[in-house]
Structure 1
Amino acid sequence: MPYLLQVDFPYQGPWGDEMAAAMTGLAQSIAQEPGLIWKIWTENQAAQEAGGIYLFQDLPSAEAYLTMHTQRLKGFGVPHVNGKIFAVNDTLSRIDRAPVTQS
Structure 2
Amino acid sequence: MAVVLQIDFTFPVHMMGEALTQGAQQLAHSINEEPGFISKIWTENTHTARAGGIYIFTTQALAQRYASMHTERVAAMGATDIKANIFDINTELTDINHGHYQK
- Normalised to the residue count of structure 1, the TM-score between the two structures is 0.92
**Is it true that 1:47 corresponds to 2:51 in the alignment?**
no
Of all paired residues, the percent bearing the same amino acid is 37
Q: Which amino acid letter does the alignment assign opposite residue 35 of structure 2?
A: P
Query: Secondary structure of the residue that 1:81 maps to in structure 2?
Result: strand
Unaligned runs of 5+ in 2: none
Query: Secondary structure of the residue that 2:48 maps to in structure 1?
Result: coil
Deviation digits for residues 24-44 of structure 1 (CA, Å, limit 9, x no counterpart): 011111111100000000000
RMSD: 1.2
Q: What is the Cα deviation at residue 18 of structure 1?
A: 2.5
Q: Which amino acid letter does the alignment assign opposite residue 2 of structure 1?
A: A
Unaligned runs of 5+ in 1: none
CA contact (8 A) 2:11 2:80 kept: no
**1:1-103 matches, cutoff 5 A:** 1-12=1-12, 13-102=14-103
Deviation digits for residues 17-62 of structure 1 (CA, Å, limit 9, x no counterpart): 3211111011111111100000000000011110000000111110
CA contact (8 A) 1:5 1:53 kept: yes
* Of 51-60 and 75-84, the range deviating more from structure 2: 75-84
Count residues in correspondence: 102
Q: What is the Cα deviation at residue 78 of structure 1?
A: 2.2
- Normalised to the residue count of structure 2, the TM-score between the two structures is 0.92
Q: Which amino acid letter does the alignment assign opposite residue 7 of structure 1?
A: I
* Of 48-57 and 16-25, the range deviating more from structure 2: 16-25
